[in-house]
Structure 1
Amino acid sequence: MFVCSSCMASKQHKGHNFVEVTEVYIAKKNDIKKDTKELENHISPTYEEIALDLENQLANLDGGYDKLTTTMSKQGEQWHREIDIIVNKMKTEISEIKVKHKELLQKHLNEIKQIQSLIKETLHALMKIEESTEVFTTIEYSSKIREFSKLPPKVQVSLPTFIPKPIDSEKLYSLFGHITPLSTATEEQILLQNQPYTPDRELLDEPELVATIQTGYDYLRSVTCINEDMIWTSGEAKDIKCFNIKGSTLHTILTESGARPNDIAVDSDGNLLYSDSTTRTVYKVKKSQTEDLIRLKGWRPFNLCITSTGDLLVIMYSDDKTQSKVVHYSGSTEKQTIQFDNESKPLYSENGSIKYISENRNHDICVADHGACAVVVVNQDGKLRWRYTGHLSVIKNKPFTPWGITTDSKSHILTADSDNHCIHILDQNGQFLRYIDNCDLEDPFGLCVDNNDNLFVCEVYKGNVKKFKYLK
């Protein structure tokens, strides 16, 4: 408060500290100047950038939704064509049946007419004998009544019937396709003083293709890194192959059961792990010797990942494929099970669909749930953090159905979108950052990242592993 010199000398203000008004005035002026600069140079441009981004999204909204409805219309046209094909095929079948029906009736009609002709001839002969007075002809007459009285079997050919199946509208709706819900992952943003808002500057503007390794698999499912120059791969075959970056085969291991492995991983000691659902076992290959690491009852292990502490995360399904869960192991000892959310609802789809798994640097557990068309992320305590169901984009028009998943040193989450031939890159809070969709990438499936943040991608049908550099 302001006080005059008389008041300053009064007993009421004795012992109080006083500051010159001019000093306060100058300090406040400096604060105002500083705030003005901060608002003009940083905060206001940030809001302008955010507003511009939202305006761009709104401007592209109609085009995006028009493309969706066009895709649906094309699907409808395709269905109409298929139905016309089916109807015409059935009409052709009916025409063929009609021809056979006609031939059958005509054959029997011809036989009857032939008999009728014989009867007519016989009547004519009898009439001549009756009129004749010749004894010999009359005596030699032999009756044909018994022969003609033995009637031919009556032919009854039924018309074919068309039995239409009742139309199940709900099933028809589900068969036609499905619309993915809006993906809305929100994150609190904090603008640090003197630091402008910028997008993720760690990502390259255009990811670079470093190498392509031909594995020879017809159906390549998984890849895991030993280091930046060596990888293990597996597919729809009983052999697990190790390659160097030049594409030379260094090692080959055959599964114990002779069946394909469901997934592979490399532990902190460099040993290969693989899961086999046919034997309900996770195996460890140490110095070319295979040993049982985890053997299950009533559950089958599928996809794997190694944690930052060297533990193992395993996605598994019940034998009847009605349940799925993530189990955390230390060695062969079960430490934790992640299966339900706070409302006791399943976190993951329960139809036995493929789910890949990875642990992020903040210890979040990230699952690419193909059956749910979502990336499901829980914290290290198993509590649901967020779900990602795809990025609303006018250039990617097929539903988001993730396959492989991996994370890097920057806590980015990368997941394969095979139908759209791209990789989605998310931040640790589920915000979409960008696609990797260059270098003729086709049908990406399994993923892994090495210690230098190089990305390895399985092209499932080509059988190639592509190595990308995507960070600066």
Structure 2
Amino acid sequence: MATFRSWVQDINECHLCGKSSIEFCNSCQLNLCVNCVSKHVDKFQSLSHDIVPFKNRKIHWVFPECKFHQGQRCEVHCQDCQTPICIKCCIGAHKHHDASEIVEVVELKQQEIRKDIEEIETKLIPEYKKINTYLQGRLTKVTEELTNTEQEKERLRTTWHQEVDDIFDQVGIAIQAMKKSCLENVTAYQTKIKNLIEEMTQAIQENKQFLKTTKPLDVFNYKSNLNEYRNIIKVSVKYPSLKANIVEGKELSIEMGETKALLAHTSLSNSAVDVLCTSQKYLLTMARVIADIPTEHKPLRRMVCVGENEAWIIGSNKTISRVDIHGCVKETVVTNCRLWPDDISVTNQGELIYSDCNKRTVNIIRTGQCKIEILITTPWDWIPSRMHCTRSGDTLVSMFNGQKKKIIRYHGKKKMQVIEKDEHEKPIFEDGNFVLYLSENNNGNVCASDMNAGVLVAIDMEGRVRFRYDGTPVRKRDQFSPRNIVTDSLSQIIVTDYNNSCLHILDQNGQFLKCLECHGLNKINALSLDKDGRLWAGLFESGKIKVIQYLN
């Protein structure tokens, strides 16, 4: 009996009615009073019951009743079917299956629970407590420094001419916004850490109950949250300083973060203040789907967001549709493609472009005009596929020629760069019949998904390979299948994993940050970011679009 924990205490209350019990069912491990003995036996007539005086009780596992064989208890676990079975099942439906004693399986699971408890108690909670202490100190420091900054701002105000009071008013607004943002962010971090500590403490108590139970099914249902707790948040709190320079009779200047003001003695009419306060952004612990948009495009092939609440989409016809977040079609464009456009994108001027593989062209639809113009014609025998319009106004076009692939950067109609071979003159992309999806990050790196190689590859502005990411950190059942790519305001790279119906998030250096697995993300084939930084994920088979909030 050393393998079972003693859970019976001196107070022997009836498990059915709560009254004092004098009997005990050894078969079902239940305390029973005189009145409840018959009730218990009548309720489970198919099972045998060993009713004894409470002092003669014997503590052992309570095996579940077999669903298929009346009067039989499941003392064996079928490894093939992952379900408890009885002796009759072993010589019946599960005759040739791999099976183990149910007690052995439970004991292995309890070992896992003990390890989880030990790591949470000895490692994770102390780490989180250190972070909480750090945050408390930063709260005090930030408040003190920003208060000093406000006082310094008031001292400088008296030095400047009365005509520039409006500049300081704007600076004051910026400080208040920064103060509020910094304090809110630190408080939010601290609240999150405290909640995680409480959550882990509660998890320990719950896990300890799993070690006490005599019901194997309760242990089977245990799911570990250890991986989530191990992802300890690293916090860095920064705040801007106030800088000023006074050259009497010539120039006055003041600087606060991104806010700058300059007053020249010769001209006051052009003085201006550009106030910018960018609050910290970080990945949400749990991304959430905030909209589920149905469309008529089945399958849904490609998508690109426009503004805050709309996106252009294409399916398996010649039409490009603009839909809003409610699923309403706002505009349609009928292309002259033989089947459907291979890809769509939007220039930094807001003009829609699409690729036509049959005519080897990238076409543009000018704003306010119905006329379709040819923007780019690809080299002979090279067929255009996926595209991306950069912030600088360039157009990246991936193309293929048989099994060969490359990316060409265009500025207008002019070819600016060919991405095909690395600095050692070796092909960057693996030969094969899969096209390259692509995007450009804030640092100028071109990110492309090479599905033949099963990797995401980043190439810098000089054509050198920065890194390759093969999806290994996520360790899914199916092979990593990278397709659409977007990069956000934090220079994070987000790539769809079509086979595993999830999204991988990397930093700009290719380091894995998070895997997004929102409910219902089946076969993600299209991906885009709206103006508010929300992800729009298009599902290939259903034609639905999921709008996902993944940043704070």
Task: Output the TM-score relative to the length of structure 2.
Answer: 0.49
Task: Indicate which of 504, 507, 513 corresponds to 1:427.
Answer: 507
Task: Indicate which of 371, 374, 383 corresponds to 1:289.
Answer: 371
> Does residue 1:384 correspond to 2:455, yes or no?
no
> Does residue 1:470 correspond to 2:550, yes or no?
yes
> Does residue 1:332 correspond to 2:393, yes or no?
no
Cα distance in 2 for residues equivalent to 1:193 and 1:229 = 33
Give the conservation status (yes or no) of the 8 Å contact 1:231–1:243. yes
User: Cα offset for 1:352?
Assistant: 2.9
Q: Which amino acid aligns with 1:328?
A: R
Give the conservation status (yes or no) of the 8 Å contact 1:327–1:337. yes
- 1:298/1:376 CA distance change after superposition, 3 Å: same
1:441 paired residue number:
521
Cα distance in 2 for residues equivalent to 1:342 and 1:194 = 38
Q: Secondary structure at the match of 2:358?
A: coil
Task: Indicate which of 301, 318, 335 corresponds to 2:384.
Answer: 301
Q: Which amino acid aligns with 2:386?
A: N
Higher relative contact order (CA 8 A, sep 6+): 1
Superposition map of 1:8-407 within 5 A: 202-286=282-366, 287-296=369-378, 297-318=380-401, 321-394=402-475, 396-407=476-487
The CA deviation string for residues 141-197 of structure 1, in whole angstroms up to 9 with x for no partner, is xxxxxxxxxxxxxxxxxxxxxxxxxxxxxxxxxxxxxxxxxxxxxxxxx998999xx
Cα distance in 2 for residues equivalent to 1:41 and 1:441 = 37
The CA deviation string for residues 97-127 of structure 1, in whole angstroms up to 9 with x for no partner, is xxxxxxxxxxxxxxxxxxxxxxxxxxxxxxx
2:36 paired residue number:
none
Q: Which amino acid aligns with 1:314?
A: V
Q: CA RMSD in A?
A: 2.3
More helix by share: 1
The CA deviation string for residues 383-436 of structure 1, in whole angstroms up to 9 with x for no partner, is 110000003345x21110111111100001001111111011111111111111
User: Cα offset for 1:359?
Assistant: 0.6
The CA deviation string for residues 75-116 of structure 1, in whole angstroms up to 9 with x for no partner, is xxxxxxxxxxxxxxxxxxxxxxxxxxxxxxxxxxxxxxxxxx
User: Cα offset for 1:355?
Assistant: 1.6
Q: Which amino acid aligns with 2:392?
A: T
Q: Secondary structure at the match of 1:462?
A: coil
Cα distance in 2 for residues equivalent to 1:393 and 1:412 = 17
Cα distance in 2 for residues equivalent to 1:442 and 1:359 = 26
- 1:207/1:345 CA distance change after superposition, 3 Å: same
- 1:260/1:341 CA distance change after superposition, 3 Å: same
Q: Which amino acid aligns with 2:346?
A: V
Q: Structure 1: which 4+ aligned runs deviate by more than 4 Å? A: 190-195
Give the conservation status (yes or no) of the 8 Å contact 1:225–1:232. yes
Give the conservation status (yes or no) of the 8 Å contact 1:259–1:276. no
The CA deviation string for residues 36-87 of structure 1, in whole angstroms up to 9 with x for no partner, is xxxx979xx9xxxxxxxxxxxxxxxxxxxxxxxxxxxxxxxxxxxxxxxxxx
Cα distance in 1 for residues equivalent to 2:406 and 2:547 = 31
The CA deviation string for residues 280-334 of structure 1, in whole angstroms up to 9 with x for no partner, is 000001122211001122211100001110110000112xx13211101001111
Q: Secondary structure at the match of 1:392?
A: helix
Give the conservation status (yes or no) of the 8 Å contact 1:231–1:244. yes
2:71 paired residue number:
none
The CA deviation string for residues 344-385 of structure 1, in whole angstroms up to 9 with x for no partner, is 111112223122110111111000111111101011222110
- 1:312/1:193 CA distance change after superposition, 3 Å: closer
Give the conservation status (yes or no) of the 8 Å contact 2:309–2:530. no
Q: Which amino acid aligns with 2:370?
A: S
Give the conservation status (yes or no) of the 8 Å contact 1:233–1:240. yes
User: Cα offset for 1:258?
Assistant: 2.9
Q: How many residues are matched?
A: 280
Task: Output the TM-score relative to the length of structure 1.
Answer: 0.57
Unaligned runs of 5+ in 2: 1-128, 135-233, 240-279
Give the conservation status (yes or no) of the 8 Å contact 2:400–2:435. no
1:411 paired residue number:
491
Identity of aligned residues (%): 33
Cα distance in 2 for residues equivalent to 1:414 and 1:400 = 14
Unaligned runs of 5+ in 1: 1-39, 46-189
1:110 paired residue number:
none
Give the conservation status (yes or no) of the 8 Å contact 1:324–1:352. no
Q: Which amino acid aligns with 1:347?
A: I
The CA deviation string for residues 205-264 of structure 1, in whole angstroms up to 9 with x for no partner, is 111212122221221111101111110011222211110111111111122133211110
Q: Over alpha carbons, which structure has the higher Rg?
A: 1
Cα distance in 2 for residues equivalent to 1:218 and 1:345 = 39
Give the conservation status (yes or no) of the 8 Å contact 1:259–1:278. no
- 1:212/1:194 CA distance change after superposition, 3 Å: closer
Give the conservation status (yes or no) of the 8 Å contact 1:422–1:435. yes
